[in-house]
């Protein structure tokens, strides 16, 4: 079975861990990773969501933080701060720095982000079974900016500044994905959507993880026309994002912060949207009727990724629902 997954960082990566456990060793997984969170810092190209997927699946992740390398130290960060170099709010750990150095060196030598990601993945993903291939959504520079109001008038800041420096604590008015409309999908992205047996949308942030991938010209159309069933997993449980800032950003774009609200925003493929099926948490089972009424097959199962067992059951439920809608 060939499964393609559109992924952000922590939510997507944790779901992928369960998916790998639910699949067989001969299956194939292609991950289309969000790169709209990417940022240049201290001359280095940082791709937080790609790295979170690599480190999580390759057993290098810091489990408590959910991002970055395990057993990390921060001596370079302290040295940068001692020079007074900005920004001081984004921590690049010493071990993590090696990834950004390799990536930047290869980009500057003329390799595409796809080629660089494949090279970095060799270390983290090459021994996994099922086999995992990680593709950036695009090789072009695409950056999410959030229009905020921090009391000094409205202005746009990079998504990382909104999330990491401001902790999503200031009002967000608009999400602007700079460079998106001129970007093209990275090599293999459209083929991975068109040629898979199941397409999964994990409980990643709908706005700044999945939405940014779907917004790359050609991707949404490919999702709409793939013969594979498309199944989404709700990132909203009991009317709130489990972690992260999905609540604030859904509000900013005028979408109700509920599982059914997010499903309705993705929309049914039969009605011009991207979904055939949707998993809601059992706590949100009352919303299943509204999802079905929108033309999306709905099923309520526990969706909290508290451990590998629970996450594997979730991924299995998504694969089962794919089988149901394909019938
Ligand atoms: P990020 O790029 O690191 O923010 O990660 P993603 O975009 O892939 O995923 C973030 C989203 O995961 C959050 O907005 C949450 O709504 C969702 N999330 C986190 N933990 C869980 C969980 O245990 N269950 C579910 N259903 N969603 C979760
Ligand atoms: Ca992210």
pLDDT-above-90 percentage for the chain: 97
CATH number (3.30.1280.10, 3.90.45.10, 3.40.50.10680, 3.20.20.450) of 2-36+128-140+181-326 reads 3.40.50.10680
Whether 259 is in the pocket of ligand 1, judged by its Cβ within 6 Å, is no
Q: What's the pLDDT score for residue 129? A: 97
Sign of the CA dihedral with 176 first, then 179, 184, and 187 last: negative
Ligand nearest to the CA of 201: 1
Give backbone dihedrals phi and psi of 286, rounded to 5 degrees, phi first.
-60, -20
Between the CA of 34 and the centroid of ligand 2 the distance, in Å, is 7
Ligand nearest to the CA of 10: 1
Element (H, E) at 237: strand 236-237
Range 103-111 average pLDDT: 98
Ligand 1 atom 27: the closest Cα is on which residue? 235
Structure tokens at 267: 């929309």
* Residue of 62, 167, 235 with the most ligand 1 atoms within 8 Å of its CB, for mutation: 235
CA 166 to chain centroid: 21
The residues, any chain, with a CB within 8 Å of residue 110's CB and separated by 6 or more, are none
pLDDT in tens, 269-319: 999 999 999 999 999 999 999 999 999 999 999 999 999 999 999 999 999
Q: How confident is the model at residue 91 (pLDDT cuts 50, 70, 90)?
A: confident
Between the CA of 293 and the centroid of ligand 2 the distance, in Å, is 31
Domain boundaries, the chain: 2-36+128-140+181-326
Work out which ligand 1 atom sits closest to the CA atom of 236.
Answer: 16
Whether 93 is in the pocket of ligand 1, judged by its Cβ within 6 Å, is no
The residues, any chain, with a CB within 8 Å of residue 79's CB and separated by 6 or more, are none
- 5, β-bridge pairs: 31, 200
Query: Is there a contact between 248 and 208 (Cβ–Cβ < 8 Å)?
Result: no
Range 237-259 average pLDDT: 95
Whether 209 is in the pocket of ligand 1, judged by its Cβ within 6 Å, is yes
Range 245-268 average pLDDT: 97
Q: What's the pLDDT score for residue 152? A: 86
Sign of the CA dihedral with 54 first, then 214, 5, and 302 last: positive
Angle of helix 94-108 relative to helix 75-82, nearest 10 degrees, comes to 80
Determine the Cα–Cα distance for residues 185 and 213; give it in Å rounded to an integer.
9
327 pLDDT more than 80: no
Determine the Cα–Cα distance for residues 11 and 189; give it in Å rounded to an integer.
20
Between the CA of 91 and the centroid of ligand 1 the distance, in Å, is 21
Range 88-104 average pLDDT: 96
> What is residue 86's three-state secondary structure?
coil
């Amino acid at each position: 079975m060939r499964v393609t997954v559109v992924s952000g960082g922590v939510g997507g990566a944790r779901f992928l861990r369960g998916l790998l456990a639910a699949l067989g060793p001969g299956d194939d997984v292609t991950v289309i990773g969000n790169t709209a969170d990417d940022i240049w810092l201290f001359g280095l190209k940082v791709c937080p969501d790609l790295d979170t997927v690599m480190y999580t699946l390759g057993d290098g992740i810091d489990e408590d933080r959910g991002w970055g390398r395990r057993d990390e130290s921060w001596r370079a960060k302290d040295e940068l701060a001692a020079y007074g170099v900005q920004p001081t709010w984004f921590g690049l750990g010493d071990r993590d720095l090696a990834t950004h150095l390799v990536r930047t060196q290869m980009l500057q030598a003329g390799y595409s982000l796809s080629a660089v990601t494949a090279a970095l993945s060799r270390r983290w993903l090459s021994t996994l079974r099922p086999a995992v291939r990680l593709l950036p959504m695009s090789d072009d520079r695409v950056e999410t900016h959030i229009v905020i109001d921090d009391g000094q008038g409205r202005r746009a800041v990079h998504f990382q500044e909104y999330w990491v420096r401001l902790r999503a604590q200031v009002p967000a008015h608009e999400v602007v994905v700079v460079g998106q409309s001129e970007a093209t999908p990275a090599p293999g992205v459209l083929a991975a959507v068109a040629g898979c047996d199941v397409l999964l949308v994990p409980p990643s942030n709908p706005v700044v993880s999945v939405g940014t991938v779907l917004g790359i010209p050609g991707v949404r159309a490919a999702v709409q026309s793939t013969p594979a069933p498309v199944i989404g997993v709700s990132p909203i449980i009991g009317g709130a994002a489990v972690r992260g800032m999905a609540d604030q950003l859904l509000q900013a774009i005028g979408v109700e912060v509920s599982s059914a609200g997010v499903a309705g925003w993705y929309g049914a493929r039969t009605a011009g949207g991207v979904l055939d099926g949707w998993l809601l948490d059992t706590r949100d089972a009352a919303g299943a009727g509204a999802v079905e009424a929108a033309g999306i097959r709905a099923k309520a199962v526990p969706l909290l990724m508290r451990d590998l067992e629970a996450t594997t059951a979730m991924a299995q439920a998504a694969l089962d629902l794919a089988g149901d809608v394909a019938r």
